[in-house]
Amino acid sequence: MPKGMTKRRPQTRARLLEAATEVFAERGFHGTSIEDICQHAGYTRGAFYSNFGSKDELLLVLFDANSERVLDRLRAVELPEGDTDVFAAAVAAAATPPDDDRTWFLITTEFTLYAVRNPRAAAALNERDARLRTSLAELLGELYTRAGATPAVDLEDLARLVVAVVEGARAQSHLEPDALPPGRLEQQFLPTVLRALAAPRR
């Protein structure tokens, strides 16, 4: 392969991912064809297939990248010292959604529905959800340690609950952004849930 093509490949891949994000959000996962992505990115189908085996594979790459962004944002949360309620402080710092939250919500919601009907897509999505959940469980464990408490439930189950609360809250916020600004429901209730599931450290 010519050196120029090797150097351009990361740029081509990045542009295809960017284009797919934009078109998926506008037209939906099912409403977007590979040709649509290529046209939006300014590339050929050959460029697409030299980077991704399918539209599903591209979406899963986007999912992995978004998961890393979420975890990086959570890991960067700085908790105050002293007697401050660390649960409330952590949720307040993490609950503000990124600027592209609505875009990502649209994409993942449709793909999740697709995965419910498609066992192969479900298996791939479950694998990635499990990795994200494990990392989130580790962060929750660190949060309880910082609070001087231990969780009264399994941390991975707690991670599932946190994800369910956040995703459910975001769905309502995107439907009624004026009545329920994104992040408000999480900040109002998640600290109470986390405290209720804490046991004093022995």
Q: What is the pLDDT along the chain (202 residues), one digit of tens a residue?
A: 444 455 677 899 999 999 999 999 999 999 999 999 999 999 999 999 999 999 999 999 999 999 999 999 899 888 776 556 889 989 988 888 888 889 999 999 999 999 999 999 999 999 999 999 999 999 999 999 988 899 999 999 999 999 999 999 999 999 999 999 999 999 999 999 999 999 877 6
Angle made by CA atoms 32, 33, 34, in degrees to the nearest 5:
130
Count of CA atoms in the C-beta half-sphere (13 A) of 201: 9
What is the bridge-based pairing of β-strands 198-200 and 149-151? antiparallel
Residues in the chain: 202
Residue 174 CB-half CA count within 13 A = 16
Q: Which amino acid is at 97?
A: P
**Cα gap 48→34, rounded to integer Å:** 8
Q: What is the pTM (predicted TM-score) of this model?
A: 0.86
**What are the structural domains, with CATH classification, of the chain?**
1-53 (1.10.10.60), 55-200 (1.10.357.10)
